[in-house]
Structure 1
Amino acid sequence: MVERSNQELEQVYAARNAEELGAAYAAWAAAYDRDTLAAGYCLPFQVLAWVARHVRPDAGPLLDAGCGSGLSGPYLKALGYNDIEGLDFSAEMLKLAGSREAYGALKRATLGEGLPWDDNHFAAFFSTGVFTEGHAPASSLNELCRITRPGGTAIFTVRDKIFHSGGFASTIDDLSGRGIWRRLEQSPPFRAFALDEPDVLVTAHVFKVLA
């Protein structure tokens, strides 16, 4: 394993199951923003470019899927997105997200399981830094599409090293083949951290949800 810049990030990547991952984030929550921003973590802000490019501010509710501490929320609100909801599996991280006063609703839920929203609820969802080692599975995309309305937008990043091994390539192809969505955009691999962790590369994907 590549040596990480801090022990907390090491524990996150080393987590072997949901319980260990939850414990790692609970222990890290208080210092999470300071540590990740010091390392140049850019995904919560980079994703705003794709949201602004593909989703109108008045399109309807927007889901921050795996919102963590809610770093994206205030900046989306500044861009005119006033109907934002969030989900995360960590109660500690949701508490931080709530303190930012940018989310209309925050729910504790786990990607890869059933989500507590009706069909076609959201105009769009975005998810960054979530589809990575030891985190949410590729199957999460099926449920996220279910709660996104036809004509809505799916925006997410995937860690490059699990794109094929984690089943993301095959899940994306399956959703496309079944007419659930069609691709709008895919980025080349880029760094998730501007300063540290040069091996952590992700690709961004944007789809139009069709059904």
Structure 2
Amino acid sequence: MTVEKANAALDAVYSARDPREVSVAYAGWAATYDRETAELGYLLPFLIPAWVARYVQPGGGPLLDAGCGTGLSGPQLKALGYDDLAGLDLSEEMLGIAAGRDSYAELKQATLGERLPWPDGHFRAFFSTGVFTMGHAPAAGLRDLVRITKKGGHAIFTVRDQVFDSGGFQAVFDGLEAAGKWRPVEQSPWFRCYAVVEPEAQVRTFVFEVL
């Protein structure tokens, strides 16, 4: 039954037509999100700290969890020594749960794709998991994330296979590189983002250095 509810909730968020509909869908899912995504074997919030640890040393300035949701990555990163962690999400209800994890020094409600409420070069890196997917943040949202990341910092994020081409991600990647805003460092193979269900659901992790 939990898996059925989780799949129904996924259908609702994936089919959202704008940020308001995404926010409404997550407001209704926030209270059971952690348990239900665990039933699906959702890996990304627990896997992304491996890429963060590969490129970003603990200490040295704030790190942004862009689209943090209920903050599942926060305790993992805190355990690894990242004690200056900020989070943003468009859902007030999801942020309320993230606040209870005692892992984030700062949480703000904001929408990827719009101008974000931090100055240029504020973060030493950002990471984002499961956000660049169907019905969620546009590829163009990467531009303002790069703006608020300092030179020499890193952009670490996943993109769902079903939106990579249709969402124009490669064009945004190429445009930022041509403008001298970042350079590619790593891209993973496509891999499953759910360990239990949806074997066809694939993502790829991308890493860029901000210039």
User: Same fold by TM (over 0.5)?
Assistant: yes
1:91 alignment counterpart? 92
User: Does structure 1 residue 29 correspond to structure 2 residue 53?
Assistant: no
Structure 1 Cα separation of the partners of residues 80 and 101 of structure 2:
15
Structure 2 Cα separation of the partners of residues 12 and 92 of structure 1:
15
**Cα deviation digits, residues 7-51 of structure 1 (max 9, x gap):** 111111122222221111000000000000110000001101100
Residue 178 of structure 1 deviates from its aligned partner by: 1.1
Alignment of 1:151-166 (within 5 A): 151-166=152-167
**SS at the partner of 1:119?**
coil
Structure 2 Cα separation of the partners of residues 193 and 6 of structure 1:
12
- Counterpart code for 1:204: T
**SS at the partner of 1:77?**
helix
Structure 1 Cα separation of the partners of residues 14 and 143 of structure 2:
24
Residue 59 of structure 1 deviates from its aligned partner by: 2.9
Structure 1 Cα separation of the partners of residues 123 and 70 of structure 2:
21
Task: Check conservation: 2:89, 2:108, Cα contact below 8 A.
Answer: yes
**Cα deviation digits, residues 155-205 of structure 1 (max 9, x gap):** 000011211110111000111111101111000100111111212110000
Structure 2 Cα separation of the partners of residues 209 and 129 of structure 1:
21
Structure 1 Cα separation of the partners of residues 128 and 176 of structure 2:
17
Structure 2 Cα separation of the partners of residues 4 and 154 of structure 1:
33
1:169 alignment counterpart? 170
Residue 5 of structure 1 deviates from its aligned partner by: 5.7
**SS at the partner of 1:53?**
helix
User: Share of identical aligned residues, percent?
Assistant: 61
Residue 4 of structure 1 deviates from its aligned partner by: 8.8
Matched residues, number = 208
Structure 1 Cα separation of the partners of residues 151 and 21 of structure 2:
36
- Counterpart code for 2:55: H
Structure 2 Cα separation of the partners of residues 36 and 151 of structure 1:
34
Alignment of 1:53-202 (within 5 A): 53-202=54-203
Alignment of 1:33-44 (within 5 A): 33-44=34-45
Q: TM-score, normalised by structure 1?
A: 0.96
Structure 2 Cα separation of the partners of residues 7 and 14 of structure 1:
11
- Counterpart code for 2:209: K
In structure 2, do the counterparts of structure 1 residues 56 and 28 end up closer, same or farther at CA, with 3 Å as the change threshold?
A: same
**Cα deviation digits, residues 85-122 of structure 1 (max 9, x gap):** 00000000000000000000000000000000010000
**RMSD of the TM alignment (CA)?**
1.2
Task: Check conservation: 1:4, 1:197, Cα contact below 8 A.
Answer: no
**Cα deviation digits, residues 30-80 of structure 1 (max 9, x gap):** 000000011000000110110000000013100000000000001100000
Give every structure 1 segment of 4 or more consecutive aligned residues whose post-TM-superposition deviation is greater than 3 Å: none
Structure 2 Cα separation of the partners of residues 167 and 7 of structure 1:
27
**SS at the partner of 1:28?**
helix
**SS at the partner of 2:88?**
strand
**SS at the partner of 1:16?**
coil
- Counterpart code for 2:63: L
Task: Check conservation: 1:5, 1:196, Cα contact below 8 A.
Answer: no
Residue segments in structure 1 that go unaligned for 5+ positions in a row: none
